[in-house]
Chain A
Amino acid sequence: MLICKYKRVGNASFVPHLDTLRAVVMGIRRIGVKAEYSEGFNPHMKIFFGQPLPIGTESECEYFCAYVNEEPNEFAEKLNKSLPSGLQITAAARAEKDPNVAKIMCFADYTVTMRGKVDNLRAVESFAELDECVISYEQKGELVKKDVKPLISFLRVCDERTVKLRLSCGNKNLRADRLTNSLCKIYGITCGYDIIKTNMYDCNFVDLDTILFGSCN
């Protein structure tokens, strides 16, 4: 069994979760690597992903676990030639059992990059200090208002263009795009932004890379 870390950037960030999974399965099929299949009427390749990433959010730290018996680095190299643009394996290692990324993931770091300089960007830091951090977003055509204070670990402005966020990510979840969108509305920021997820952690703030790949990665 192999655990793989991959990034999803550019075009690929518009591809929904299940289709990303399908793209990886097709990639493995193309390179002709023997994989384990489930039993039953419709056998499917045994491969397990973390929780879905919102459409439009890029990430450098997604993981899947595949039931293949291959040398990790060779597998990653081969598969990378067989994945659509924007999807890329960045690390791979053998695993004894499925670490169940979807279950252990708990927090994630995001970098939000504004598309222009925002002079008063530092003001958004105060949002996290409020007693209630209420954001609003549309869901299934309805406007939802929600206090997300318990889901924000930190919100730091690095310079006039960059905000770093650490948010709950997993079973308790706050979408970085929804928070950023609300921040832009509240603080009158109109220049647009891009978001990339950079790291994931378990419930004790241990980096998933450390858990899954040990110190060598």
Chain B
Amino acid sequence: MKSEIKDLLLKVDKPARYCGGEFNTPHIRSDAELRFLMCFPDVYEVAHSNLGIKILYYMLNNRADTACESCYMVWSDMLTELKSRGMRLFSQETHTPLCEFDAVGFSLQYEMSYTNVLAMLELGGVPVLRAERGEASPIIVAGGPCVINPMPLTDFIDVFSIGDGEEAISLLADTIVKGKREGWGRNETLKRIAEIDGMFVPGVSAGKVRRAVIDSLETAFFPTKVQIPNIEAVFSRSVLEIFRGCTRGCRFCQAGMIYRPVRERTPETLKRYTEELIANNGFDEITLSSLSTCDYPCLRELLAKIKPVCDERHVNISLPSTRVDSFEAEFVATGRLSSMTFAPEAGTQRLRDVINKNVTENDVLTSCGYAFEKGYHAVKLYFMLGLPTETDEDILGIAELVKKIKYCYKSHASSRKPLSLSVSTSVFVPKPFTPFQWEAQISLPEIERRQALLKNALKPLNVKYNYHDGKTSRIEATLARGDERMNGVIKAAYDSGCIFDSWTEFFDYDKWMDAFERCGVEPDDYCGEQSLEIPCAWERIEAGISREFLLREREKSRRGELTKDCRKGCNNCGINKEYPSAFKINCAGGNEC
């Protein structure tokens, strides 16, 4: 290690986040034709919990012509040290400055990380504005769920990779390598990249850009050997992605729409991956990851296959579960008795029907009853405030549900410990490509009033109540539904010092409000109800879900009508027409497993 870097690391908190040397770091080719830097715009501990960047990182390093390194947002003390020493943000693996790479990719998992992208570019010695970059600048790429609406970031990002990254990243690497061999200029390279499926290149792409979808997860690359972070990550466990997509059709949920169609891995493949994950990584927990793991049709078979393997190696299986029915609880109960999590999202059946959350009070109580008998004594409940058509009655319904769960514990508990119950609420943020994409977000005073209402209703019940800051949710809405005018607002907010907006200790609402004002942009343009007549800014992207389907769902929600799970029959969302091959190969849509 260079002494310059060693001295720097001795000055900052948790230097293990920056020193590199993680176990399972692949060999970084020094003679690579393409030097790629995979970035995550949040701290090391958060970044290491993300599966997407790991898939792409190992895919790139498996190529003979590419060296991919990684880089994360540095904490504020490191940021100050780097600036005062005139040093640039550098890669973990070889401590190379960000500006020296051919291409730099960002994973955008949540809107509140946008200003960190700007911070990393500036700290890495790359012009923040796309227009100011030259031939020597890296090509700045962005992917992840947020880029389904790329419009607020078109001034900063050269290439948006929309949809699944597995095929896109290979084609992108091919193109950049070819460009270097043949001496293409930056513009020519960007022009060629725009020809790749799913790539939106601002200023180059013409017409609609369609989300990239891989046909099958069975044949897709999955990293069973992942970098082990030097210090514990937020989620310290192996991740096994059992399927992608979701068939439930909750009307507020963006992930449920933009990852369609469902693509599953077979239990045989998943068993093999489980063995590899255990042998290669050494975590004491493996999580079966997906948007709705209990919907995996072969879950029972899968658990039966992997349970003995995991038991032998002292590895716990965790299900990110929202519905614990009897057999799952049996499996879970033999491991650690941790808390149970439910996300009913709304307090009354009426509102749960509006959002198409196919969970009844009875489902929750039955699951709780079973789990309490098994010895569970902690329950976490997640709700959203401000859903379309929500009334005070719906909010008070949350307290009613809590009372019933407490009563259920009294009659079913096998544990002698008191019930630990916590309620968390987030604020509804309307997201692109959902049936609620046109809905208004409630105003800030109204958010605070409803939070206070629930707080008072829960007070006599002796439960813990956590709620998301309403101000953050307001800004999140403007970024999620932003158009190109938001570029200026993001830049102005960053210039006035906004970074780490997803961290309460950094988030500064007033600075954001100032940024809106200076740019002459009205936040309510994005938080308010959107016109059905004018195309939305994000409709520049074709996500594969038809506008007609979204409108149909919107109308049904107003009538409180449910839409059935896609596994019980097709609801004609448009995916089958837009991606016929991906749709056919996979068993979701009514076929038997």
Q: Which residues of A contact B14 (CB under 8 A)?
A: 16
- Decide: A19 and B281 in contact? CB cutoff 8 A: no
In the complex, which residues 25-80 of chain A have their Cβ closer than 8 Å to any Cβ of chain B?
Answer: 25-30, 32, 37, 41-43, 45, 55-56
Closest to B279 in A: A30
**Bound-state Cα–Cα, A55 to B279, Å:** 29
**Bound-state Cα–Cα, A42 to B338, Å:** 10
Contact residue among A14, A22, A25 (Cβ-Cβ distance under 8 Å from B15): A14
Closest to A41 in B: B336
B467 at the interface (CB under 8 A from A): no
**Bound-state Cα–Cα, A86 to B313, Å:** 26
Contact residue among B1, B3, B21 (Cβ-Cβ distance under 8 Å from A84): B21
**Bound-state Cα–Cα, A16 to B231, Å:** 8
Contact residue among B228, B279, B283 (Cβ-Cβ distance under 8 Å from A23): B228
B529 at the interface (CB under 8 A from A): no
Q: Which residues of B contact A45 (CB under 8 A)?
A: 314
Contact residue among A41, A86, A115, A194 (Cβ-Cβ distance under 8 Å from B21): A86
- Decide: A10 and B231 in contact? CB cutoff 8 A: no
A192 at the interface (CB under 8 A from B): yes
Q: Which residues of B contact A16 (CB under 8 A)?
A: 14, 16, 231
- Decide: B282 and A26 in contact? CB cutoff 8 A: yes
Q: Which residues of A contact B15 (CB under 8 A)?
A: 14, 55-56
User: Among the listed stretches B5-13, B294-302, B393-401, which one makes contact with chain A, having 4 or more residues with CB under 8 Å of it?
Assistant: B5-13
Known contacts A11-B19, A15-B16, A115-B3; decide if A26 and B281 are in contact (CB<8 Å).
yes
In the complex, which residues 75-95 of chain A have their Cβ closer than 8 Å to any Cβ of chain B?
Answer: 82-86
**Bound-state Cα–Cα, A106 to B77, Å:** 35
Contact residue among A14, A29, A86, A194 (Cβ-Cβ distance under 8 Å from B284): A29
B232 at the interface (CB under 8 A from A): yes
Chain B nearest Cβ from A41, distance in angstroms: 6
B337 at the interface (CB under 8 A from A): yes
- Decide: A29 and B313 in contact? CB cutoff 8 A: yes
- Decide: B282 and A27 in contact? CB cutoff 8 A: yes
A152 at the interface (CB under 8 A from B): no
Q: Which residues of A contact B283 (CB under 8 A)?
A: 26, 29
- Decide: B10 and A84 in contact? CB cutoff 8 A: no
In the complex, which residues 322-346 of chain B have their Cβ closer than 8 Å to any Cβ of chain A?
Answer: 336-337
Q: Which residues of A contact B230 (CB under 8 A)?
A: 11, 14-15, 19, 23, 84
Q: Size class of B's contact patch? A: 20 to 34
Q: Which residues of B contact A43 (CB under 8 A)?
A: 314
Q: Which residues of A contact B20 (CB under 8 A)?
A: 11
**Bound-state Cα–Cα, A109 to B230, Å:** 27
Chain A nearest Cβ from B185, distance in angstroms: 39
**Bound-state Cα–Cα, A30 to B21, Å:** 18
**Bound-state Cα–Cα, A15 to B44, Å:** 14
Q: Which residues of A contact B506 (CB under 8 A)?
A: none
In the complex, which residues 171-200 of chain A have their Cβ closer than 8 Å to any Cβ of chain B?
Answer: 192, 194
Chain A nearest Cβ from B389, distance in angstroms: 43
A residues near B (Cβ < 8 Å) are 10-12, 14-16, 19, 22-23, 25-30, 32, 37, 41-43, 45, 55-56, 82-86, 115, 192, 194
Besides the contacts A11-B1, A23-B228, what 17 more A-B pairs have beta carbons closer than 8 Å?
A10-B1, A11-B21, A14-B18, A15-B16, A15-B19, A19-B230, A23-B23, A29-B284, A30-B279, A45-B314, A56-B10, A82-B23, A84-B22, A84-B23, A86-B21, A115-B3, A192-B3
A-B contact pairs, 16 of them (CB 8 A): A11-B1, A11-B20, A14-B16, A15-B231, A16-B231, A19-B230, A27-B282, A29-B282, A29-B283, A30-B282, A42-B336, A82-B23, A83-B23, A84-B22, A84-B228, A194-B3
B residues near A (Cβ < 8 Å) are 1, 3, 6-7, 9-10, 14-16, 18-23, 25, 228, 230-232, 278-284, 313-314, 336-337
